[in-house]
Structure 1
């Protein structure tokens, strides 16, 4: 797909400076006298796959930024931080296992990954070596296995809340917008347009469980299959159903861009249209442009727009010009600094169990919010509290799920209140 070629060009020459298995260095981190051998952070990064490349390259960028800052400030325990990068196909269990095995064979001190869609085989490839494995995999089916097998997966930490919260929180968001008078729904129906992978099916199931407990009702469920070649029939189905809110439960930024262009040309007037997660990827705005105006989306993991988050955004944009991804850029940056804190607290990055034990009981506040994985799932707590595990009643005890609206061709946080930049405004078709 051409979109992936475009995204690689955005890296600004990064890939040319670092082959798939070659550490990445900044010119100003080469010090003449480091205390010992480097501390090596392993990065499985999708570079040649058919899915996940944008998020994974964002993860690579954020790791590079953290590495450069850490080394410029003297490294960790007097040792420089190196990145060991290997290629991975997030959709292939075999590729995932090969990639993790390559990193454990290289004796990395920890692994930082965006996600794979084969989480159990990926995690299983690391259980013998058991170095800290931190990733934003966003899957409750996986963290339930962690809860069932705490010894086996004691080293595996999910650095964000699980995808179930997309479903559980959606009616809460709708009610808030309605109660404030920011959205006047056509009716209380919710139309789910769902893709077939397990991740999207889990989100749809969670929303269908949450709706009967709310004032909203399920209007219809429509199935789609990646790749979506033509959104026309789906849009006609949306118009015929006429629900007040529509959730497009998909994941591919380029296909979302095609959807918004077609929908703007023939919309369901008055509907609130929500796009699950995919608009976070830079391709969405790059391809959709002004056609993205008014659409709502959210992520359970994202860079805040508070003082800490804004400082990071400015640094990142200076280092990597262009449209910024708002998810794994910050997550990978936070993960590197979280590991730095753990390594320095333990005093030896080779003490894997001690480092993991420290991470488990010591939360970390990063640019994407509060990371507290001290629960049976070893996943970050979620804010706002939606009545389901693992949720927090206070912002600084959980990771805020960020709801955005595209306004003036920019992503702006509209919910939850403690983090919002602007308020929801009527979309062009409303």
Structure 2
């Protein structure tokens, strides 16, 4: 998709909203069906999965309003998924594969291999946002089996390395931390453990610039954050990383923390504030917290146009991650289908490998053994060659990009407790 200015994006989207049911005769052709597993209930992941479905829906409506793909309309097939059990994951994916979908587009599977194995059973193209080194390792270990499976963002390891890089860059830009210690509060699932280990490795590799402070274990669900807040205050580190991804629980942490904060500390909440519930539940307590995502909606002209269109269609607090990546994923598939028969899964997979696509969340490329894009500034020095690892801060009740410098909307602002 070419870069859009805000006016053309909004005009296109406005036309789309009224045009989906008014397909031209050319769109009477057989639809191209995208299977979208979407968790509709459960203790975790529902907001992210709905954000993804919303982004997918916007892209499908937009493409259909412009004639579909080679005259064929796109169609979404949604099934519920139990993210917390392998059986539930297999059931959802099996239903879609047996239903004859032309591609699978999923925000993330907490248990990735069962989903990947079902997709691999008949080679259907499967694009996902697992943000998972385990998913990458499976593809690298068996490239033939998983040849048509692609992760639309980089692995979670870069949350750790990228966060320490961000701290050093902020120091170079003039921020003076109270001390060089980094406390980590870590949840126990594999995802957060990988991030914690990568963060600790980056601290160890910093040559003494940063020092590992206290490591505090938590277990979901966290019933009471007060003991954690007290341990952090006693440790008195200059940087605090809350390595947990559930927005509602991070909102509870924010509310507890502001009542008895560690003075002067920069507090980073890993990823979870991207989910709408964080701002909705934390309210004024959210102000000043920093968070990041290895993929997210940019604040450039193209990204802001998408944000405006999204908010017009889905009023309320907007998720900053899976909305844009779901939207971009459908455009990647559509671009592949322009040149490859949607029923020829291997041809579509090869087309995806040949794509360079600049979306609302950065540039996607898959021509590597990982089947994942590049991360800026973690794996490429070119801001247009990959997806920016975006660091946000809540400022005046809004998520504002503060890093990297090439993408920022504002500078880091001292939090109320700083």
Which residue of 406, 409, 425 maps to 2:394?
A: 406
Question: SS at 1:61's partner residue?
Answer: helix
Once residues 281 and 163 of structure 2 are traced to their aligned partners in structure 1, the CA distance between those partners, rounded to angstroms, is: 26
**Shift in Å, 1:28:** 2.5
2:185 corresponds to = 193
Q: Is the 8 A contact 2:83 2:109 kept in 1?
A: yes
What TM-score do you get using the length of structure 2 for normalisation? 0.94
CA distance in 2, matches of 1:132, 1:158: 11
In 2, the alpha carbon distance for the partners of 1:98 and 1:349 equals: 23
Q: Secondary structure at the match of 1:397?
A: coil
Q: Secondary structure at the match of 1:177?
A: helix
Structure-1 separation of matches of 2:19 and 2:169 = 49
1:367 to 329, 349, 360: 360
TM-score when scaled to structure 1?
A: 0.91
Q: Residue 140 of structure 2 contacts residue 370 of structure 2 at CA under 8 Å; is this kept in 1?
A: yes
Alignment of 1:342-421 (within 5 A): 342-346=336-340, 348-385=341-378, 391-421=379-409
Kept in 1, the 8 Å contact 2:262–2:417? The answer is yes
**Residues of 1 paired with 2:291 and 2:200: CA distance?**
18
Q: What is the match of residue 85 of structure 2?
A: 92
Please, which of 159, 163, 176 is the counterpart of residue 170 of structure 1? 163
CA contact (8 A) 1:119 1:137 kept: yes
Task: Report the counterpart of residue 281 of structure 2 in structure 1.
Answer: 287
Of 58-67 and 30-39, the range deviating more from structure 2: 30-39
Q: Are positions 1:203 and 2:191 aligned together?
A: no
Give the secondary structure class of the aligned counterpart of 2:116: helix
What is aligned with 1:78? 71
Question: Would you say how many aligned residue pairs link Structure 1 and Structure 2?
Answer: 399
Deviations 1:235-255 (A, max 9, x none): 011011111100000011001
CA shift at 1:49, angstroms?
A: 2.5
The Cα offsets for residues 296-354 of structure 1, whole Å up to 9 and x where unpaired, read as 000001000011101100110001011000111000100011101000022x1111101
Among residues 12, 20, 23, which one is paired with 1:29 in the alignment? 20
Are residues 1:161 and 2:154 paired? yes
- Return structure 1 stretches of 4+ with deviation > 6 angstroms: none
RMSD value, Cα? 1.1
The 3-state SS of whatever aligns with 1:185 is coil
The within-5 A match list for 1:105-254 is 105-181=98-174, 183-214=175-206, 215-254=209-248
Match of 1:19 in 2: none
> Aligned partners of 2:196 and 2:272: how far apart in 1?
15
Aligned twin of 1:297 = 291
Shift of 1:27: 5.7
Quick one: which of 258, 265, 269 aligns to 1:264?
258
Unaligned 5+ runs, structure 1 = 1-24, 386-390
Looking at structure 2, the residues matched to 367 and 410 of structure 1 have their Cα atoms a distance apart, in angstroms, of 19
Structure 2 stretches of 5 or more lacking a match?
1-15
Deviations 1:131-186 (A, max 9, x none): 110010000022111101000101110000110001011111111111211x3211
How far, CA to CA, are the matches of 2:80 and 2:210 in structure 1?
44
In structure 2, the residue matched to 1:331 is 325
SS at 1:288 equivalent = helix
Q: By how many angstroms is 1:45 displaced?
A: 0.3
